[in-house]
Amino acid sequence: MSFSEHLRIDPNFFEHRKTRRAIRQGGFVAVSILLKLWTIAAKEAPLNGVLKDFSVEDLAFDVELDLQVVKDAVDSLSDNGFIILEEKTLKIHEWETHQTYFSEKQKRSQRARENVQKRWNKGADGIQTEYGSYTTGVAPEYNLNTTCNTLNKSNINKYNIKETKDNTNSNGVFISQNIQNLLFKAFGTTHNGRTEDWLSIHGEDHVSDALKITIDKKAKSPNYTQSILDSWLKEGYPEDKEKQEADDYNEYVKMIAERDSDD
């Protein structure tokens, strides 16, 4: 589990008035049970924190404590606004607000896929690049000797890379010269059976970034690049994580303000 998959907890959690009241009413076991509920929700109800068909008896069985002890703890958590308890349904209060990594995970993945699709849709209408204008499935005409920023004529001969007017594979996926250059630097070849899938799923910018990391780490296997892209698709691309960190900080400030107003 990566760091970003961990539950978020306010460093001042134990100083918060609600927490102090819950501990006074139900003891520290109430906090232990709350943490247990958070972990269960993260695994079984990550989007909304609603545990359906989950009774206090089920909880007592999970934590291996006396049923009455668990009931008292649950009552204290409910009375102080940590959970909402209904018949065979338990909801973590404000889960979507405080555990945004889990609650918005599907949205992030969907946004990433939509961004990839938008980039490829733009390609279908024609995109202006440093190599010229092209549409999906039709590569621009260019000469590596005059347009490539990283290879000159001697390098082309040295690496035995042929000048070509079409970098489109049989599946109609365009592989830019930039990606070919990075593939060669990473793996010693401009041909990689996975590249088409990488580009189709993640888009050129993200594939380029993943290849640059592979080169920087001196990893020689496409599996390393694959693991980077898989991780980004699962946890969010770097730009999405930066936004999430900003959102987390804003939420933390909001929580502190609420705590101070309660006090």
DSSP string, the chain: --GGGSPP--TTGGGSHHHHHHHHHH-HHHHHHHHHHHHHHHHH-TTT-EEET--HHHHHHHHT--HHHHHHHHHHHHHTTSEEEETTEEEETTHHHH-HHHHTHHHHHHHHHHHHHHHHHHHHH-EEETTEEEBTTBPPP--HHHH-SS--HHHHHHHTPPP-S--B-TTS-B--HHHHHHHHHHHS-S--TTHHHHHHHH-HHHHHHHHHHHHHTT---HHHHHHHHHHHHHH--HHHHHHHHHHHHHHHHHHHHHHHHH-
pLDDT score at 120 = 60
CATH class of 3-103: mainly alpha
pLDDT score at 19 = 92
Name the stretches of the chain with pLDDT < 70. 1-5, 109, 112-113, 115-172, 241-263
pLDDT score at 212 = 92
pTM (2 d.p.) = 0.44
Domain ranges of the chain: 3-103, 106-239
